[in-house]
């Protein structure tokens, strides 16, 4: 299966130089603007994409999710509000879309501006294959933690073990 790696701005294909070799049976992955591209692809042609993986999931919480937020999610809400208020006026969505039918995985790096809980991801995707909150890394995860990101992508799409 082909792999589509989408970087953000500013960015370069060089961000992915440590990922291409190890990923021999991949699916779509995106962070930053790449996440928006992958999201669009999975909505336009879900039958052509086996799954998606994100490092910056553009999952801004709804009012209901803010009201029901756990302590950890409240920290995520504060980060998302800072990002929305100070950094992303150009990208504010009009409202939550219908759930995406493509199975998805999420690698949540602590230094990323916007983070999403598993609960929020499950409301936007029919199937969440994997959701990991990682110890180190940030916005340029493919450069900062290439081995960790490669492992998270592999873990997301590894076939389930049968006994």
Structure tokens given for 30: 């995106």
Cα separation of 100 and 7, whole Å? 21
Q: What is the pLDDT of residue 9?
A: 85
The contacts of residue 150 (CB under 8 Å, 6+ apart) are 18, 19, 22, 23
pTM (2 d.p.) = 0.67
- DSSP letter string, 111-158: B-SS---HHHHHHHBS-EEEEEE-SS-BTTHHHH-HHHHHHHHHHHHS
Confidence of residue 12 (pLDDT cuts 50, 70, 90): confident
Domain boundaries, the chain: 5-157
CATH topology of domain 5-157: Rossmann fold (3.40.50)
Q: What are phi and psi of 104, to 5 degrees?
A: -135, 155
pLDDT at 89 over 60: no
Give pLDDT tens digits for 46-68.
887 889 999 988 787 888 999 99
Cα separation of 138 and 134, whole Å? 10
């Amino acid at each position: 299966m082909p792999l589509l790696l989408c970087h953000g701005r500013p960015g370069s294909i060089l961000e992915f130089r440590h990922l291409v070799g190890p990923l021999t049976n991949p699916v779509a992955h995106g962070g930053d603007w790449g996440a928006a591209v992958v999201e669009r692809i999975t909505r336009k042609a879900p039958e052509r994409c086996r799954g998606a993986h994100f490092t910056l999931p553009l999952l801004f919480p709804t009012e209901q999710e803010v009201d029901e937020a756990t302590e950890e999610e409240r920290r995520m809400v504060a980060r998302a509000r800072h990002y929305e208020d100070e950094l992303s006026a150009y990208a504010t969505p009009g409202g939550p879309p219908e759930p995406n039918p493509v199975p998805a995985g999420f690698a949540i790096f602590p230094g990323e501006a916007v983070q999403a809980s598993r609960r929020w991801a499950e409301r936007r995707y029919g199937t969440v294959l994997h959701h990991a909150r990682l110890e180190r890394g940030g916005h340029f995860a493919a450069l900062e933690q290439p081995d960790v990101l490669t492992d998270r992508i592999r873990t997301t799409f590894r076939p389930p073990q049968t006994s």
